[in-house]
Amino acid sequence: MIRTIEGLRTRLAEARAAARPTAASALSPAEPTVALISTIGALHEGHEDLIRLARDRADIVVVSVFVNPLRFATTAEFEAYPRTPEADAALLAGLGVDIVFAPDPAELLPRGAETTRVTAGDLGLRYEGRSRPRYFDALLTVEAKLMQLVQPDIAVYGRRDRQRVFLVERMVSDLFFGVEVLSVDTVRGEDGLPVSTRVGMLEPRDLAAATRLPRALEAAASNADRGVDACIAAAQSSLMGEERIRLDYLVVVDPRTFLPVDEGHRGPAVALIAATVAGHRFIDNTEIYIG
């Protein structure tokens, strides 16, 4: 794993030079394409799909592994986040990743909390941002730094955090980064839950409760033809009586603006849900069509 910005730049230059002959055509030499996948480590099979898409679309695949301290409300939360560097390295090597950038916080954020930040604006204070006020500004700040350092042609994200994908797409457009943002469907277990490190931390009874979250989204989708209110009511009804779930938000948004839709909305929409189960936060979403 490359730990320094200087090392990253050197390795990228080497990788581009090595890939250039195979990326060139007989008529016009082409620069090799670079894909970036940014992670906070503790990798799982959900990340594998991101890497496979990047591998299919680019000549060089760069994966960052960086636990961003700006995202956490307290130092204790930052230090408690699971870190599995050996397992991460083995998974990435097995998937043919070309470069793994795993800097220490002081390398990527030399001024710490005083760093210049990218702001997500009002939308960054909604949904996830309401419960985690620092989250999206911190996320976009590091995403912008990584894009500046790697200069990727493609950046790949998972759709489990749809708000993140939307805000990154908007940042890339607003700041003229010239990066194509791709997203991959959420990888789910047999119980319907998105694959994540949190699932393995749950006791059986809590796990059974958590599986009602994707079912609530299924209920929302099944009732979408009756309008937004009926859609949300069906999802809420499916959660009733489950005391182990502490619902944070359940909302239907317009995918073009990510703002809540009104009752008269017709067409594509996204249902978002977030809840806490046994102290672990879960987020999920599904695309629906309101007829």
Nearest residue to 143 via CA among 45, 56, 203, 70: 70
168 and 245 together in one domain = no
Same domain? 180 vs 208:
no
How many structural domains are present in the chain?
2
Residue 187 counted as an annotated binding residue: yes
CA-CA distance, 44 to 22, in Å (whole number)? 31
Would 194 be classed as within a structural domain? no
Do residues 12 and 129 share a domain?
A: yes
Predicted confidence at residue 29, as pLDDT, reads 57
Domain that holds residue 173: 5-184
Q: Do residues 205 and 179 share a domain?
A: no
Q: Is 253 annotated as a binding residue?
A: no
Last residue in a domain, options 184, 209, 240: 184
pLDDT of residue 77: 86
User: Looking at residue 4, what DSSP letter applies?
Assistant: S
CATH number at residue 238: 3.30.1300.10
Question: Same domain, yes or no, for 80 and 155?
Answer: yes
**pLDDT at position 74:** 86
Domain shared by 158 and 212, yes or no: no
Residue type, 134: R
Q: How far apart are CA 200 and CA 272, in angstroms?
A: 22
Closest by alpha carbon to 290, among 223, 214, 217, 219?
A: 223
Q: Is 158 annotated as a binding residue?
A: yes
Residue 81 lies in a domain: yes
Binding residue per annotation — 161?
yes
Q: What is the pLDDT of residue 133?
A: 84
- Which amino acid, 218? E
Q: What does the H/E/C string look like for 155-212?
A: EEEECCCHHHHHHHHHHHHHCCCCCEEEEECCCECCCCCECCCCHHHCCHHHHHHHCH
Residue 197, Cα to own-chain centre: how many angstroms? 14
Specify the pLDDT at position 27.
Answer: 54
- pLDDT, residue 24, reads 55
Which of 184, 215, 168, 2 has its CA nearest to residue 98? 2
Residues 16 and 130 in one domain: yes
Which of 136, 151, 184 is a domain's end point? Answer: 184
> Is the residue at 142 inside a domain?
yes
- For residue 263, the 8-state DSSP code is T
Answer yes or no: do 142 and 18 share one domain: yes
**Residue 59 domain flag:** yes
Q: 151 and 205 share a domain?
A: no
The annotation status of 49 as a binding-site residue, yes or no, is no
Residues 55 and 163 in one domain: yes
**What are the residue numbers of the active site?**
47
pLDDT at res. 81: 85
CATH assignment of the domain containing 64? 3.40.50.620
Q: Say if residue 26 is in the same domain as residue 143.
A: yes
pLDDT along the chain (291 residues), means of 10: 97 93 59 95 88 95 95 87 88 93 96 94 96 92 98 97 97 97 94 86 92 97 95 96 95 97 94 95 96 87
Exposed/middle/buried for residue 261 (C-beta within 10 Å: 0-12, 13-18, 19+)? buried
C-alpha–C-alpha distance, residues 243 and 224, integer Å: 26
- At which of 138, 157, 184 does a domain end? 184
| Gap between the Cα atoms of 114 and 109, Å rounded | 9
Q: What is the CA radius of gyration of the chain?
A: 20
Residue 155 φ/ψ region, left for φ over 0, alpha for ψ in the -120 to 50 degree band, beta for the rest: beta
**Would residue 191 count as lying in a domain?**
no
Residue 38 counted as an annotated binding residue: no
How many Cβ atoms are within 10 Å of 264's Cβ, its own excluded?
8
Q: Which two tokens stand for residue 228?
A: 């937004």
What's CA 16's distance to the chain center, in Å? 26
